[in-house]
Structure 1
Amino acid sequence: MLADLEELVTCESFSADHAAVARSGRVVAEQGRRLLGTPPRTLDIGGVTHVRWTFGTPRVLLLGHHDTVWPIGSLKTHPWSVEQGVARGPGVFDMKAGLVQLFHALASLPSLDGLCVLVTGDEETGSDTSRQLIEDLARQCSATLVLEPSAPGGALKTSRKGVSLYDITVHGRAAHSGLEPEKGVNAATELAHQLLALQTVAGTVTASTGPGTTVTPTLMSAGTASNTVPARAELSVDVRVPTAGAQEAVDQLVRSLRPHLPGARLEIDGGPNRPPLDAAASQRLFALAAEQADRLGMGPLTQAAVGGASDGNYTAGAGCPTLDGLGAVGDGAHADHEHVLTATLPARARLLAHLVGALR
């Protein structure tokens, strides 16, 4: 398993580099072919490489991704290593170790009939090219198992917040900032007013739908020169919501934003990206997984609700019971300390194999 993990980690697969994702897709396809005994179908959708295996009529969807947030060249600063039971490298935790566990788990089964394996190449950027494929497959299946990394301590992820993403553009009017600033409409100042307005959105939604909603301004830019009133300013906003009702309420409030300065104009793009993964969608599958963990002597299995989203949000939103976080045990997704505890790899693969067996 460590050799296979090294093979995946050392093939860098930054989401924005489609050529790198294509190379990674070929490595994933070959590793899966060797362990599953059959080549996959490689899908190029919008220039992004996805890999899929289908065995008979699918009833269980096993879902993962091979792209990472790490730019090409990250291996130079974060090299592959295994020391004292800890594996490190870009994407090792999120989520290449989950793919290794997936392949080895399925390789141990006497039959793969009824399974579909989908490994996408754009999860980290919102699954724009794979969402339709994911949802279509989920609607055909009675369960989805997601190989995203576990929550702290190996907990499975039984609830995920939904995600909405917005881009707010302020259109003002340029003017010389020294000679006649009064003739301009300062887009940066207008953007500041919108930042203050956004501060109230989460509180308003929480008061009406319950706690858990966050509205976070992230990227901002304004202006073109130090002596010019900015004619344009841009803001990206990340929204996390616990329920579909909260997601809809935020959307209405963001779209109701109005300019504060005379002459300014707002352009609001984006909206809901991933629906929430409600705990009810995971309840039965978690109980089954906990039962299998007990039989394997793995101790009590724990569960967690998390703010991050995954493609499991899409499968649950499509009406398919979904259990997430079945992948690696470790920490540091997207961070310098990203790592996997190697001793847990075989046990997690065994748990997955027994869970798949129980579902069929």
Structure 2
Amino acid sequence: MNDGELRDLVPIVIGILERRGADFSTAEDAVQDALLEAFRTWSDDEPRDMKGWLISVAWRRFLDRVRAEEARTAREGHAYALRTDPPSTSTDDTVDLYFLCAHPDLSPASAVALTLRAVGGLTTRQIAEAYLVPEATMAQRISRAKRTLSGRRLNRPGNVAAVLKVLYLVFNEGYSGDVDLAAEAIRLTRALNSSITHAEVSGLLALMLLHHARRPARFTGDGALVPLDAQDRSLWETGPIVEGIGLLQAALARDELGEFQIQAAIAALHADAVSVEDTDWVQIVEWYDELLKLGESQIVRLNRAVALGQADGPEVGLAELGRLDESLPRYFAVEAHLRERAGETVTAAKLYAHAADRAADLAERDHLIRQAARLNSRPRGSR
């Protein structure tokens, strides 16, 4: 059984149940029940028509829930009256669910959880394990999200930007438990890209593919973080890179430039280079300038300082960095990198150690500690 193919049907079946009269929350619960039954039984006897099977079982579960809520006469009668589906496409249903799950009344965490369950077809347990929280906690988060959306219909056009932010949040969680969230985010973004024509959707998918292609080189065998400039580029996967660059070129041709297209363009320049030295840093700086035209961002300026240090020399990068707030994440790691490139190894070692104390995760902290130790082990000949 192809789990991805099965999960692709989840938003379609939810949409069909809604057109038959089910509210979103009850429809989503019923489809989850059907999905769990499919996982339990299909390994022995997979049906010929997976979609039809899910609709049938989910519909029965919906009617069971209606009866359990003691509203059989009113709600079940209404549902049966609408049993013949009105004209609508599966694509419309799926896209509508993306928009609903990224509703502005939901917190980012709730929007992510609901998207993974209602659109992605993951179970509450899988989502909880992926985010390293108890299943009961995730169940409450999803229940609160559905209560927030109670009574709301699927209204289009929706906010594509909000959907893309949710999908990017999922992608950046990476891997945990038995669910690869980066791969799941790519799957969901690919499905959205095939459903609507939108340059930023294509841009986000390109960005994900280009980043994901570098994944095999990001860590050593014992789990140590490997920064971009030290990665073995022969380990980068060429298939996603080729696909990502193709998607990016098509998106840029639409002349509807957006944040994710720009980020993908920067990632493509890294992917095109055979080494750090061969990277077109001047063009990367220009792309960061384009990104800043869309909106002021201290994080973008921090990354631009790194690119400037590569394009025009570490002193120029340090001058740009000095204009930024030291409280920015990775500020001292960037300064350490630039100081080292400028030959100030003693200062750089101290900055690496300071940055390690402020690191956001264990892998980054360990990497920065190793950088400090590497410089401290050198002969003291720096200024």
Q: TM-score range by the shorter chain?
A: under 0.3
> Higher strand proportion, which one?
1
TM-score by length of 1: 0.26
Larger radius of gyration: 2
Bigger RCO (CA 8 Å, 6+ sep): 1
Larger helix fraction of residues? 2
